[in-house]
Amino acid sequence: MCGICAGIGSENQIEKVVRGLKKLEYRGYDSCGLAYINETKNLEIVKCVGGTENLENRIDKTDFSNVVIGHTRWATHGTVCEENAHPHISFDGQFAIVHNGIVENFEELKKQVDVQLKSQTDTEVLVNLICKQSGTTLEKICNACQKVVGSFAIALIENGKDEIFFARRGSPLWIAADEKGVFAGSDISVFDKNFKKCFCLEDDEFAVASLKKVEFFEKNCKKIEKKSISVENVDFFDGFSDEQTFMLKEIKEQPIVLRKTCFNLFSSLDDAKICELKKFKKFHFVACGTAYHSCLMGCQFIKKFCKKQCEASVASEFRYADNVLSKNCLYVFVSQSGETADTIASARLVKDAGLSVMCVTNEPYCTLNSLADFVLPTFAGKEMAVASTKAYTAQVFSLLIFALRLGGETIQNTLKDFVQAFDCEFDVDKLCQLVLASQKVFFIGRGQDYVSSLEAALKLKEIAYINCLGMPAGELKHGTLALVDEKSLVVAISTQEKTKKKIESNILEVQARGGKVALISNLEHNVDVDLKLTLPNFEEFLMPIVSIVPLQLLAFEVCQRLGFDPDKPRNLAKSVTVE
Ligand code: AGP
Residue 90: partners with Cβ closer than 8 Å, 6 or more residues away? 96, 97, 127, 128, 130, 131
DSSP three-state, residue 56: helix
Is the beta carbon of 398 within 6 A of some atom in ligand 1?
Answer: no
Q: Which residue is closest in CA terms to ligand 1's atom 16? A: 335
**Helix 448-464, helix 289-306: angle, nearest 10:** 170
- The rounded Å distance from CA 426 to ligand 1 centre is 24
Per-residue pLDDT of the chain (579 residues; tens, 9 = 90+): 689 999 999 999 999 999 999 989 888 889 999 999 999 999 999 999 999 999 999 998 899 999 999 999 988 777 899 999 999 999 999 999 999 998 999 999 999 999 999 999 999 999 999 999 999 999 999 999 999 999 899 999 999 999 999 999 988 999 999 888 999 999 888 988 777 679 999 999 999 999 989 999 998 999 999 998 877 666 655 555 555 899 999 999 999 999 999 888 877 788 888 999 999 999 999 999 999 999 999 999 999 999 999 999 999 999 999 999 999 999 999 999 999 999 999 999 999 999 999 999 999 889 999 999 999 999 999 898 999 999 999 999 999 999 999 998 877 888 999 999 999 899 999 999 999 999 999 999 999 999 999 999 999 999 999 999 999 999 999 999 999 999 999 999 999 999 999 999 999 999 999 999 999 999 999 999 999 999 999 999 999 999 999 999 999 999 999 999 999 999 998 888 877
> Is there a contact between 378 and 281 (Cβ–Cβ < 8 Å)?
no
Which pLDDT value is given to residue 269?
A: 81
The per-residue DSSP string of 116-185 comes to --SSS-HHHHHHHHHHTS-SSHHHHHHHHHHH--EEEEEEEEETT---EEEEEEBS--EEEEETTEEEEE
Residue 244: partners with Cβ closer than 8 Å, 6 or more residues away? none
The per-residue DSSP string of 552-571 comes to HHHHHHHHHHTT--SSS-TT
223 and 80 in one domain? yes
161 and 256 in one domain? no
Residue 40: partners with Cβ closer than 8 Å, 6 or more residues away? none
Q: How many CB atoms lie within 10 A of CB 309?
A: 15
Q: Which residues are catalytic?
A: 2, 574
Please indicate, yes or no, if residue 241 is contained in any of the structural domains.
no
252 and 164 in one domain? no
Please indicate, yes or no, if residue 569 is contained in any of the structural domains.
no
- The rounded Å distance from CA 385 to ligand 1 centre is 11
Please indicate, yes or no, if residue 577 is contained in any of the structural domains.
no
Ligand 1 pocket mutation pick from 246, 290, 548, 568 by most atoms within 8 angstroms of CB = 290
306 and 161 in one domain? no
Please indicate, yes or no, if residue 575 is contained in any of the structural domains.
no
> Is there a contact between 325 and 300 (Cβ–Cβ < 8 Å)?
no
Dist. CA 227–CA 224, nearest whole Å: 10
Domain boundary among 368, 401, 421: 421
- The rounded Å distance from CA 397 to ligand 1 centre is 17
- The rounded Å distance from CA 173 to ligand 1 centre is 21
Please indicate, yes or no, if residue 566 is contained in any of the structural domains.
no
User: What distance lies between CA 462 and its chain's CA centroid?
Assistant: 14
Q: Which residue is closest in CA terms to ligand 1's atom 10? A: 289
456 and 413 in one domain? no
Ligand 1 pocket mutation pick from 186, 297, 336 by most atoms within 8 angstroms of CB = 336
Dist. CA 113–CA 49, nearest whole Å: 27
Number of domains observed in the structure of the chain? 3
219 and 259 in one domain? no
Among 101, 149, 155, 140, CA closest to 219: 140
Dist. CA 18–CA 35, nearest whole Å: 11
Give the CATH number of the domain where residue 532 resides.
Answer: 3.40.50.10490
Among 400, 405, 497, 396, CA closest to 447: 497
Please indicate, yes or no, if residue 122 is contained in any of the structural domains.
yes
113 and 20 in one domain? yes
In terms of Cβ atoms closer than 10 Å to its own Cβ (0-12, 13-18, 19+), residue 469 is: middle
Task: Determine phi and psi for 494, rounding to 5 degrees.
Answer: -140, 110
First and final C-alpha spacing in the chain: 9
Q: Which residue is closest in CA terms to ligand 1's atom 6? A: 289
Which pLDDT value is given to residue 241?
A: 53
Which pLDDT value is given to residue 209?
A: 97
Domain boundary among 392, 421, 450: 421
Dist. CA 123–CA 40, nearest whole Å: 27
260 and 205 in one domain? no
Q: How many residues does the chain have?
A: 579
Write out pLDDT tens, residues 168-210. Answer: 998 899 999 988 899 999 988 898 877 767 999 999 999 999 9
Please indicate, yes or no, if residue 64 is contained in any of the structural domains.
yes
DSSP three-state, residue 188: helix
Is the beta carbon of 336 within 6 A of some atom in ligand 1?
Answer: yes
Which atom of ligand 1 is least distant from the CA of 289?
Answer: 6
Ligand 1 pocket mutation pick from 250, 288, 335, 369 by most atoms within 8 angstroms of CB = 288
Domain holding 403, by residue range, is 246-421
Is the beta carbon of 575 within 6 A of some atom in ligand 1?
Answer: yes
- The rounded Å distance from CA 120 to ligand 1 centre is 28
14 and 69 in one domain? yes
486 and 367 in one domain? no
Please indicate, yes or no, if residue 235 is contained in any of the structural domains.
no
- The rounded Å distance from CA 336 to ligand 1 centre is 7
> Is there a contact between 342 and 576 (Cβ–Cβ < 8 Å)?
yes
Which pLDDT value is given to residue 237?
A: 59
440 and 414 in one domain? no
Task: Determine phi and psi for 382, rounding to 5 degrees.
Answer: -55, 125
Helix, strand, coil share (%) of the chain residues, nearest 5: 40, 25, 40
213 and 145 in one domain? yes
Which pLDDT value is given to residue 578?
A: 79
Among 54, 43, 57, 45, CA closest to 80: 54
Is the beta carbon of 389 within 6 A of some atom in ligand 1?
Answer: no
Which pLDDT value is given to residue 235?
A: 62
Give the CATH number of the domain where residue 145 resides.
Answer: 3.60.20.10
Considering the entire predicted model, what is its pTM?
A: 0.85
Element (H, E) at 303: helix 289-306
